[in-house]
Amino acid sequence: MRATAHFPTRQRDECKWKNVIYTMGLSWEVPQPSTPAAERGQSLFKVDYEKALKVEDVAQPQILLQIAKTGDTVGVKRMIDAKCPIQEAKTHVGFSALHACAYGSFADTAQVILKAHCNQQYLDALKTPEQITPLFFAAQFGAYETAKLLLEKGATVNIGRNDGQSPLYKAAHKGHKAIVEMMVKYNADVHKPADDGSSPLFIASQHGMLETVEYLISQKADVNKPMNGGIPPVAIASQMGKKTTVELLVKSNAEINKVGNSGQSAVYKAVHKNFPDILDILIEAGADTSKPASDSSTPVFIAAQEGRTECLQQLLSVKADTNTPLKGGATPLSVAAQNGHKECAQLLIESNVNLDEPNSVGQTPLFKAAQKNQPEIAKLLVQARADMNKANQEGKTPLKIAQESDHTAVVNVLV
């Protein structure tokens, strides 16, 4: 639902103009996106224009603003014809009647306004929270005709919000491909990143806007440009489960093994978020299935930790690394054991991992199963001939820790 925070008139302006508002019967509500355009200016409020034009001059711009917010083109024209100063029709934080038209997709109303008052300062209106221009609103909310009008009138296409997001970036984010295409014709920069380093292609990939991603690639956007944390588009698309976008990026020669500061590859992220279909695409493309993250956890480790059975099967089928432990010595089998992921533990046992590999304090997978009260995992390990007598650095065996913790079911497995 479209937030009304962009036009924060309710608290401050209602107090200032309440007598005018009550007299005119104006509504403060902005039409919702689901409201048909033809109905937006009809039922939300009624205006007695004779009364509106008789109120004190300073109040008239506020009335015009409220009329513009509903897309009432006739009403706006009547106020303009009565010499109401358009440039003064704005909220206390600077959002203008033109912003209102862009926000509500009211191109016809915007046309009337711009015919009466149009200059660069009004078109780009930067004295707003976050430096949001009318064109930015049009791009954000998919107001194609309004965006077209603004561009034809000379709106600056590459002016970004104060976080660096340009109108094209926001259109890409929302998947408004037609607006992205139109902006490119007006020399919008398809490479211009936001302050966090994310490019229009990155944000479109993150949200799975396939057609927009495809178009940006056709315009030579860099498929490998990462955001500031180093994560590339293919990795964020894998993390978000955007299968068709991942397919497109892979076909477009994305560097599938490229990692961010965390060291997590696209494979790692697909496994972590449990997207086996995306993992399959990456494996087919030759991705490194053993590449560890910065904390030394491998894709197999994260699959075992999170219980991603199908992903683990896929990794084991291509001989992914099953032995590399975390820096603290925890192995994929030990983390599966402590977390109770029986199917993952079974798969690892069948792949012939070391059943008795201890962590940095001497705890084996069987010890972790006993400590965390996982009797079914303990039974699997015992049946696979794990060493039941191997003690930790304190000299405690799996049976001893199970007895101390009153884990009776595990004790029964071990005695």
| Average pLDDT estimate for 267-276 | 98
DSSP H helical ranges for 70-176: 73-81, 97-104, 107-116, 120-124, 134-140, 144-152, 167-174
Lowest mean pLDDT among 35-39, 88-92, 289-293, 323-327: 35-39
Structure confidence at residue 79 as a pLDDT band (50, 70, 90):
confident
- The reported pLDDT for the residue numbered 412 is 96
Mean pLDDT lowest for which of 56-60, 68-72, 123-127, 164-168?
Answer: 56-60
Predicted pLDDT of residue 52: 55
| pLDDT computed for residue 290 by the predictor | 97
In this predicted model, what pLDDT tens digit does every residue of 363-393 receive, in sequence order?
Answer: 999 999 999 999 999 999 999 999 999 999 9
Q: Where in the chain are the domains?
A: 1-157+166-186
User: Residue 305 half-sphere exposure, CB side, CA atoms within 13 Å?
Assistant: 14
- Amino acid symbol at 211: E
Could you give the CA distance from residue 170 to residue 397 in angstroms, rounded to a whole number? 59
Q: Answer whether residue 152 shows pLDDT above 90.
A: yes
User: For residue 28, what pLDDT is reported?
Assistant: 36
Does position 26 have pLDDT exceeding 50, yes or no? Answer: no
- What's the confidence (pLDDT) of residue 54? 57
CATH topology of domain 1-157+166-186: 1.25.40
Q: Supply the Cα-derived Rg of the chain in whole angstroms.
A: 30
- CA 307 to CA 340: how far, in whole Å? 8
Average pLDDT over residues 136-161: 96
Q: How many Cβ atoms are within 10 Å of 17's Cβ, its own excluded? A: 20
**Which pLDDT belongs to residue 48?**
56
